[in-house]
Amino acid sequence: MSQNDLLFERAQRVIPGGVNSPVRAFRAVGGTPRFIARGEGAYIVDADGKRYIDYIGSWGPMILGHGHPAVIEAVQRAVTEGLSFGAPTEREIELAEEILQLVPSCEQVRLVSSGTEATMSAIRLARGATGRNKFIKFEGCYHGHTDALLVKAGSGLATFGHPTSAGVPEATAQHTLVLEYNNVQALEEAFALHGKELACVIVEPIAGNMNFVRASVPFMTRLRELCTESGALLVLDEVMTGFRVDLRSAQGHYADLIPGFKPDISVFGKVIGGGMPLAAFGASRDIMKHLAPLGGVYQAGTLSGNPVATACGLATLREIRKPGFFDALSARTRRLVDGLSAVAREQGIPFCADSQGGMFGFFLLPELPQNYTAVMRTDKEQFNRFFHAMLDAGVYLAPALYEAGFVSAAHTDADIDATLHAARDAFRQALR
């Protein structure tokens, strides 16, 4: 047995499923998960010593690659000063200022420790600020494992969500309405029925948990209009896209396409922590004043604004602000997806791909899907064969067909070339 097999066997005795987050278990693709021993730039090395080109990047945070010198130095310095104080630090202010300089829609932010905590708090803030309870989410968008968000659509627009996880009471999810992503008609009908009862709408501007699916410009335009008209707040979940698809995050990209576009509340994670547990939510002062200790919406966290995590995040943000960083990252990512598309065409494989900044996705479909139902038309068994062929060749892709991928500044042209060479063989062997 390999070291990965032995570790997985050992892990399953003491950890449910052998993992601390479900997708890591490889249940969707089969086989044994790789236990990672270390990261080196664009690579990760497993317990057997095999090196992989890493296109997961800890699910997005590692935009600079693993072990960037400036980040390591900042973290090491912070560790010597103290791991946690449970009291304010100057570095929290510096990180907040850095975020606010890049996100004009926010005037204040609150730091927390995870994306789930940030989205949960953002929805609570929206409810407290509006005095309303109901909210809309979209099928295929994942906003963390908060009870009210673990729901699926009911039988119609007037029917609210039912839990998709054991342990979530019906009553907890009764105020959640789930709609189809990119469906303007369903959106308009939902607002006609419930507009004055809605506290907010929460949406991923580029959904990264049904692979990579963009919100269309007409959809996002109408969503902003309807929220404004009804008094509901628009919550943009940028845990994944924040500072990953653009220096100004996805909202900056959409502001270029939709004049005057901005969300009411923004949620960030992943990149702002640089690989450590850190997230944030922010809005205008008028909305944030409802948050304790100023207002009646309670939120707290012992490790919020942790001094080591803020050092890691601050060093990361300062690196990605350097001139030309995102132009180079975007070009590298585009070269990857264009190359994969070309290789698939050579082999006669139905395939499509898309990217924005350092985030990408691909589908074994003839055209890009616009919603979760279309995504799930992908041939799962074909994807699983392709995944394992790439893994065997030393290319580590997300172990599920519904997860986006990530390129870092550490990836080189040689890494992209090696990936495309592996894909050519994988398409030939696994999909023909």
The residues that are catalytic are: 142, 237, 270
Distance CA 412, CA 395 (A): 14
DSSP states along 353-404? EEEETTEEEEESSSS---SHHHHTTS-HHHHHHHHHHHHHTTEE--SSTTB-
- Cα gap 288→2, rounded to integer Å: 52
Distance CA 210, CA 198 (A): 25
Pairwise CA distance, residues 105 & 119, whole Å: 17
Angle between helices 325-347 and 307-320 (to 10 degrees): 80
Q: What whole-number distance in Å separates Cα of residue 293 and Cα of residue 11?
A: 42
Q: At 303, which amino acid appears?
A: L
Torsion of CA 168, 170, 176, 182, to 10 degrees: 80
- What end-to-end distance do the CA atoms of the chain give, in Å? 31
